[in-house]
Structure 1
Protein backbone atom coordinates (compact mmCIF):
# COMPACT_ATOMS: atom_id res chain seq x y z
CA UNK A 1 0.00 0.00 0.00
CA UNK A 2 1.12 3.54 -0.67
CA UNK A 3 -0.15 7.03 0.04
CA UNK A 4 -1.72 7.03 -3.43
CA UNK A 5 -4.09 4.23 -2.36
CA UNK A 6 -5.91 6.19 0.36
CA UNK A 7 -8.92 7.26 -1.72
CA UNK A 8 -9.31 3.70 -2.97
CA UNK A 9 -9.15 2.31 0.59
CA UNK A 10 -12.02 4.61 1.54
CA UNK A 11 -13.98 3.52 -1.54
CA UNK A 12 -13.46 -0.19 -0.81
CA UNK A 13 -14.46 0.33 2.82
CA UNK A 14 -17.61 2.21 1.86
CA UNK A 15 -18.64 -0.39 -0.75
CA UNK A 16 -17.96 -3.25 1.64
CA UNK A 17 -19.81 -1.64 4.55
CA UNK A 18 -22.86 -0.82 2.41
CA UNK A 19 -23.00 -4.40 1.13
CA UNK A 20 -22.16 -6.18 4.40
CA UNK A 21 -24.18 -4.07 6.82
CA UNK A 22 -27.13 -2.99 4.66
CA UNK A 23 -29.58 -4.90 6.89
CA UNK A 24 -27.85 -3.96 10.15
CA UNK A 25 -27.04 -0.23 9.94
CA UNK A 26 -28.64 2.74 8.20
CA UNK A 27 -26.90 4.44 5.27
CA UNK A 28 -26.45 7.50 7.50
CA UNK A 29 -24.70 5.43 10.19
CA UNK A 30 -22.42 3.84 7.60
CA UNK A 31 -21.47 7.19 6.05
CA UNK A 32 -20.74 8.67 9.48
CA UNK A 33 -18.63 5.64 10.41
CA UNK A 34 -16.62 5.83 7.19
CA UNK A 35 -16.09 9.59 7.60
CA UNK A 36 -14.88 9.13 11.17
CA UNK A 37 -12.82 5.93 10.93
CA UNK A 38 -11.45 6.37 7.41
CA UNK A 39 -10.18 9.92 7.35
CA UNK A 40 -7.39 10.48 4.83
CA UNK A 41 -5.06 11.76 7.55
CA UNK A 42 -5.58 8.69 9.72
CA UNK A 43 -5.15 6.27 6.81
CA UNK A 44 -1.98 8.03 5.60
CA UNK A 45 -0.54 7.71 9.10
CA UNK A 46 -1.41 4.01 9.26
CA UNK A 47 0.02 3.25 5.82
CA UNK A 48 3.24 5.08 6.76
CA UNK A 49 3.55 3.08 9.99
CA UNK A 50 3.12 -0.12 8.02
CA UNK A 51 5.75 0.93 5.47
CA UNK A 52 8.19 1.61 8.32
CA UNK A 53 7.49 -1.80 9.89
CA UNK A 54 6.23 -0.20 13.08
CA UNK A 55 3.17 -1.53 14.90
CA UNK A 56 0.91 -1.98 11.87
CA UNK A 57 0.58 -4.30 8.90
CA UNK A 58 -1.54 -2.72 6.14
CA UNK A 59 -1.75 -4.71 2.91
CA UNK A 60 -3.81 -4.34 -0.23
CA UNK A 61 -4.92 -6.74 -2.93
CA UNK A 62 -5.02 -5.45 -6.49
CA UNK A 63 -6.56 -6.69 -9.72
CA UNK A 64 -5.38 -4.95 -12.90
CA UNK A 65 -3.94 -2.12 -10.75
CA UNK A 66 -7.28 -1.59 -8.99
CA UNK A 67 -7.50 -2.01 -5.20
CA UNK A 68 -10.03 -4.78 -4.52
CA UNK A 69 -9.41 -5.36 -0.84
CA UNK A 70 -7.23 -4.60 2.15
CA UNK A 71 -6.29 -5.85 5.60
CA UNK A 72 -4.91 -4.04 8.63
CA UNK A 73 -3.48 -5.58 11.79
CA UNK A 74 -2.13 -3.76 14.82
CA UNK A 75 0.76 -5.40 16.67
CA UNK A 76 1.37 -5.01 20.38
CA UNK A 77 4.05 -7.18 21.91
CA UNK A 78 3.14 -10.82 21.20
CA UNK A 79 -0.44 -10.05 20.15
CA UNK A 80 -2.06 -8.76 16.98
CA UNK A 81 -5.51 -7.32 16.47
CA UNK A 82 -7.14 -7.63 13.09
CA UNK A 83 -8.66 -4.19 12.68
CA UNK A 84 -9.95 -4.34 9.12
CA UNK A 85 -10.40 -6.84 6.34
CA UNK A 86 -12.62 -5.55 3.57
CA UNK A 87 -13.17 -6.48 -0.04
CA UNK A 88 -15.17 -5.03 -2.87
CA UNK A 89 -18.38 -7.10 -2.82
CA UNK A 90 -17.79 -8.58 -6.27
CA UNK A 91 -14.51 -10.10 -5.04
CA UNK A 92 -15.91 -11.98 -2.05
CA UNK A 93 -15.86 -15.79 -2.13
CA UNK A 94 -12.91 -15.78 -4.56
CA UNK A 95 -10.06 -16.47 -2.13
CA UNK A 96 -8.90 -12.85 -1.96
CA UNK A 97 -9.64 -12.51 1.76
CA UNK A 98 -7.86 -15.77 2.53
CA UNK A 99 -4.77 -14.61 0.64
CA UNK A 100 -4.75 -11.22 2.39
CA UNK A 101 -5.16 -12.88 5.78
CA UNK A 102 -2.44 -15.43 5.07
CA UNK A 103 0.05 -12.79 3.89
CA UNK A 104 -0.63 -10.58 6.91
CA UNK A 105 -0.33 -13.53 9.29
CA UNK A 106 3.05 -14.48 7.83
CA UNK A 107 4.31 -10.96 8.51
CA UNK A 108 3.07 -10.85 12.10
CA UNK A 109 4.41 -14.32 12.87
CA UNK A 110 7.88 -13.08 11.85
CA UNK A 111 7.49 -10.54 14.67
CA UNK A 112 6.85 -13.35 17.18
CA UNK A 113 3.12 -12.67 17.47
CA UNK A 114 1.51 -15.55 19.35
CA UNK A 115 -2.16 -14.77 18.78
CA UNK A 116 -4.53 -12.58 16.84
CA UNK A 117 -7.81 -11.20 18.11
CA UNK A 118 -10.64 -9.57 16.19
CA UNK A 119 -14.11 -8.18 16.73
CA UNK A 120 -16.86 -8.96 14.24
CA UNK A 121 -20.54 -8.02 14.36
CA UNK A 122 -22.50 -11.09 15.42
CA UNK A 123 -24.86 -10.63 12.46
CA UNK A 124 -22.00 -10.50 9.96
CA UNK A 125 -22.40 -14.18 9.13
CA UNK A 126 -20.18 -14.12 6.05
CA UNK A 127 -17.21 -12.76 8.02
CA UNK A 128 -17.84 -15.01 11.01
CA UNK A 129 -17.88 -18.07 8.77
CA UNK A 130 -14.74 -16.88 6.98
CA UNK A 131 -12.82 -16.38 10.20
CA UNK A 132 -13.87 -19.77 11.58
CA UNK A 133 -12.71 -21.45 8.35
CA UNK A 134 -9.39 -19.69 8.80
CA UNK A 135 -8.73 -20.89 12.34
CA UNK A 136 -10.38 -18.26 14.53
CA UNK A 137 -12.60 -19.31 17.41
CA UNK A 138 -15.24 -17.33 19.26
CA UNK A 139 -13.83 -16.41 22.65
CA UNK A 140 -16.48 -14.03 24.00
CA UNK A 141 -19.23 -11.57 23.13
CA UNK A 142 -18.88 -7.82 23.62
CA UNK A 143 -22.10 -5.93 22.89
CA UNK A 144 -23.03 -6.69 19.28
CA UNK A 145 -19.59 -8.13 18.52
CA UNK A 146 -18.12 -11.58 18.72
CA UNK A 147 -14.56 -11.60 19.99
CA UNK A 148 -12.60 -14.16 18.01
CA UNK A 149 -9.06 -15.38 18.56
CA UNK A 150 -6.49 -17.42 16.69
CA UNK A 151 -3.36 -18.75 18.38
CA UNK A 152 -0.17 -19.20 16.41
CA UNK A 153 1.97 -20.62 19.21
CA UNK A 154 0.89 -22.91 22.02
Structure 2
Protein backbone atom coordinates (compact mmCIF):
# COMPACT_ATOMS: atom_id res chain seq x y z
CA UNK A 1 0.00 0.00 0.00
CA UNK A 2 1.30 3.44 -0.84
CA UNK A 3 0.25 7.04 -1.32
CA UNK A 4 0.59 8.33 -4.87
CA UNK A 5 0.18 11.76 -6.40
CA UNK A 6 -2.68 11.71 -8.90
CA UNK A 7 -2.95 13.66 -12.14
CA UNK A 8 -5.62 16.38 -11.78
CA UNK A 9 -6.69 16.12 -15.42
CA UNK A 10 -7.37 12.39 -15.05
CA UNK A 11 -9.40 12.89 -11.84
CA UNK A 12 -11.15 16.23 -12.44
CA UNK A 13 -14.53 14.66 -13.24
CA UNK A 14 -14.40 12.08 -10.42
CA UNK A 15 -17.11 12.46 -7.78
CA UNK A 16 -16.98 11.22 -4.21
CA UNK A 17 -20.20 10.08 -2.60
CA UNK A 18 -20.43 11.13 1.02
CA UNK A 19 -22.82 9.42 3.39
CA UNK A 20 -23.15 9.39 7.15
CA UNK A 21 -25.83 8.69 9.71
CA UNK A 22 -25.68 9.73 13.34
CA UNK A 23 -27.57 10.82 16.40
CA UNK A 24 -24.43 12.55 17.73
CA UNK A 25 -23.77 16.07 16.50
CA UNK A 26 -21.86 19.15 17.55
CA UNK A 27 -24.62 21.65 18.22
CA UNK A 28 -23.67 25.29 17.69
CA UNK A 29 -25.42 27.88 19.86
CA UNK A 30 -24.93 31.62 19.42
CA UNK A 31 -26.37 34.27 21.72
CA UNK A 32 -25.81 38.00 21.78
CA UNK A 33 -25.49 39.99 24.99
CA UNK A 34 -24.37 43.50 25.91
CA UNK A 35 -20.69 42.49 25.73
CA UNK A 36 -20.85 40.80 22.34
CA UNK A 37 -21.57 37.16 21.53
CA UNK A 38 -21.54 33.92 23.46
CA UNK A 39 -20.85 30.85 21.36
CA UNK A 40 -21.08 27.21 22.43
CA UNK A 41 -20.11 24.23 20.31
CA UNK A 42 -21.16 21.16 22.26
CA UNK A 43 -21.55 17.48 21.59
CA UNK A 44 -25.18 16.49 21.92
CA UNK A 45 -27.65 13.79 20.94
CA UNK A 46 -30.07 14.74 18.21
CA UNK A 47 -33.69 13.66 18.69
CA UNK A 48 -33.79 12.12 15.23
CA UNK A 49 -31.13 10.30 13.23
CA UNK A 50 -29.28 12.70 10.94
CA UNK A 51 -28.74 11.23 7.48
CA UNK A 52 -26.52 13.04 4.99
CA UNK A 53 -25.77 11.93 1.44
CA UNK A 54 -24.23 14.07 -1.28
CA UNK A 55 -21.79 13.88 -4.15
CA UNK A 56 -18.91 16.26 -4.68
CA UNK A 57 -16.10 16.51 -7.18
CA UNK A 58 -12.70 15.47 -5.90
CA UNK A 59 -11.16 18.41 -7.75
CA UNK A 60 -12.70 21.71 -8.79
CA UNK A 61 -10.89 24.26 -10.99
CA UNK A 62 -11.14 27.06 -8.40
CA UNK A 63 -9.02 25.12 -5.91
CA UNK A 64 -5.87 27.18 -5.44
CA UNK A 65 -2.54 25.47 -6.20
CA UNK A 66 -4.09 22.04 -5.71
CA UNK A 67 -2.66 18.51 -5.61
CA UNK A 68 -4.52 15.20 -5.34
CA UNK A 69 -3.18 12.15 -3.53
CA UNK A 70 -4.55 8.63 -3.66
CA UNK A 71 -4.11 5.69 -1.35
CA UNK A 72 -3.33 2.72 -3.56
CA UNK A 73 -3.99 -0.81 -2.36
CA UNK A 74 -3.43 -3.80 -4.67
CA UNK A 75 -3.52 -1.53 -7.74
CA UNK A 76 -6.78 0.15 -6.72
CA UNK A 77 -7.24 3.68 -5.36
CA UNK A 78 -9.28 3.27 -2.14
CA UNK A 79 -8.82 6.76 -0.65
CA UNK A 80 -8.28 10.32 -1.81
CA UNK A 81 -7.03 13.60 -0.42
CA UNK A 82 -7.14 16.97 -2.16
CA UNK A 83 -4.70 19.56 -0.83
CA UNK A 84 -4.42 23.24 -1.60
CA UNK A 85 -1.47 25.47 -0.83
CA UNK A 86 -2.63 28.78 0.62
CA UNK A 87 0.67 30.61 0.24
CA UNK A 88 -0.90 33.99 1.02
CA UNK A 89 -1.56 32.91 4.64
CA UNK A 90 1.01 30.10 4.88
CA UNK A 91 -1.49 27.27 5.40
CA UNK A 92 -2.20 23.92 3.84
CA UNK A 93 -5.91 23.29 3.19
CA UNK A 94 -7.47 19.85 2.97
CA UNK A 95 -10.50 20.07 0.71
CA UNK A 96 -11.33 16.39 0.54
CA UNK A 97 -10.21 13.40 2.57
CA UNK A 98 -12.19 10.28 1.77
CA UNK A 99 -11.81 6.52 2.18
CA UNK A 100 -14.14 4.07 0.45
CA UNK A 101 -16.55 2.70 3.04
CA UNK A 102 -15.38 -0.91 2.78
CA UNK A 103 -11.79 0.21 3.57
CA UNK A 104 -12.55 2.40 6.59
CA UNK A 105 -11.33 1.76 10.15
CA UNK A 106 -8.02 0.30 8.92
CA UNK A 107 -5.86 3.38 9.50
CA UNK A 108 -5.98 4.54 5.85
CA UNK A 109 -7.46 7.94 6.70
CA UNK A 110 -4.70 8.40 9.26
CA UNK A 111 -2.11 7.58 6.60
CA UNK A 112 -3.45 10.29 4.30
CA UNK A 113 -3.70 12.79 7.15
CA UNK A 114 -0.12 12.03 8.19
CA UNK A 115 0.94 12.62 4.57
CA UNK A 116 -0.69 16.07 4.76
CA UNK A 117 1.23 16.77 7.99
CA UNK A 118 4.50 15.70 6.33
CA UNK A 119 3.87 17.96 3.34
CA UNK A 120 2.96 20.89 5.61
CA UNK A 121 6.19 20.48 7.59
CA UNK A 122 8.34 20.07 4.45
CA UNK A 123 6.88 23.21 2.89
CA UNK A 124 7.07 25.08 6.23
CA UNK A 125 3.36 25.86 6.45
CA UNK A 126 2.22 27.08 9.86
CA UNK A 127 -1.07 25.16 9.91
CA UNK A 128 -3.39 22.71 8.20
CA UNK A 129 -7.04 23.75 7.90
CA UNK A 130 -10.18 21.93 6.81
CA UNK A 131 -13.91 22.09 7.25
CA UNK A 132 -16.66 19.58 7.85
CA UNK A 133 -20.31 19.50 8.84
CA UNK A 134 -21.38 19.71 12.49
CA UNK A 135 -23.28 16.43 12.09
CA UNK A 136 -20.28 14.60 10.62
CA UNK A 137 -19.51 13.43 14.13
CA UNK A 138 -17.15 10.58 13.22
CA UNK A 139 -15.09 12.89 11.01
CA UNK A 140 -14.82 15.54 13.74
CA UNK A 141 -13.76 12.92 16.29
CA UNK A 142 -11.21 11.53 13.80
CA UNK A 143 -9.67 14.96 13.27
CA UNK A 144 -9.67 15.73 17.00
CA UNK A 145 -7.86 12.42 17.62
CA UNK A 146 -5.20 13.66 15.20
CA UNK A 147 -4.67 16.98 17.01
CA UNK A 148 -7.09 19.25 15.15
CA UNK A 149 -8.82 21.98 17.14
CA UNK A 150 -11.83 24.19 16.57
CA UNK A 151 -10.86 27.10 14.35
CA UNK A 152 -14.30 28.58 13.73
CA UNK A 153 -17.50 27.96 11.87
CA UNK A 154 -19.72 29.37 9.17
CA UNK A 155 -23.27 30.07 10.31
CA UNK A 156 -24.59 30.67 6.77
CA UNK A 157 -22.67 28.18 4.60
CA UNK A 158 -25.77 26.30 3.46
CA UNK A 159 -28.78 28.49 4.37
CA UNK A 160 -29.45 31.70 6.28
CA UNK A 161 -30.81 29.69 9.23
CA UNK A 162 -28.04 27.07 9.52
CA UNK A 163 -27.90 27.24 13.33
CA UNK A 164 -31.63 26.55 13.68
CA UNK A 165 -31.37 23.72 11.14
CA UNK A 166 -28.22 22.22 12.76
CA UNK A 167 -26.44 22.66 9.43
CA UNK A 168 -23.26 24.46 10.49
CA UNK A 169 -19.86 24.24 8.79
CA UNK A 170 -17.17 23.53 11.39
CA UNK A 171 -13.63 24.74 10.63
CA UNK A 172 -10.74 22.84 12.21
CA UNK A 173 -7.01 23.57 12.41
CA UNK A 174 -3.83 21.62 13.13
CA UNK A 175 -1.02 23.96 14.17
CA UNK A 176 2.41 22.88 12.98
CA UNK A 177 4.97 22.90 15.78
Confirm or deny a common fold (TM above 0.5): yes
Report the counterpart of residue 139 of structure 1 in structure 2.
151
Unmatched 5+ stretches in structure 1: none
Contact 2:81 2:97 in 1 (8 A): yes
Separation of aligned partners in 1, 2:154 and 2:12: 30
Unmatched 5+ stretches in structure 2: 1-5, 23-49, 156-167
1:81, distance to aligned residue in structure 2 (A): 1.4
1:134, distance to aligned residue in structure 2 (A): 0.6
Alignment of 1:61-76 (within 5 A): 61-76=71-86
More helix per residue: 1 or 2? 1
The DSSP-based 3-state class of the residue aligned with 1:128 is helix
User: What whole-Å deviation, never above 9, does each CA across 1:18-46 have from its counterpart, x for those lacking one?
Assistant: x3269444x5xx2xxx3xx428xx55x69
Separation of aligned partners in 2, 1:81 and 1:71: 10
More strand per residue: 1 or 2? 2
1:123 aligns with 2:147: no
**Deviant stretches of 4+, over 6 Å:** none
- Structure whose alpha-carbon radius of gyration is higher: 2
Question: For 2:96, which of 70, 84, 87 is the aligned residue?
Answer: 84
Question: What TM-score do you get using the length of structure 1 for normalisation?
Answer: 0.72
1:59 aligns with 2:52: no
Matched residues, number: 130
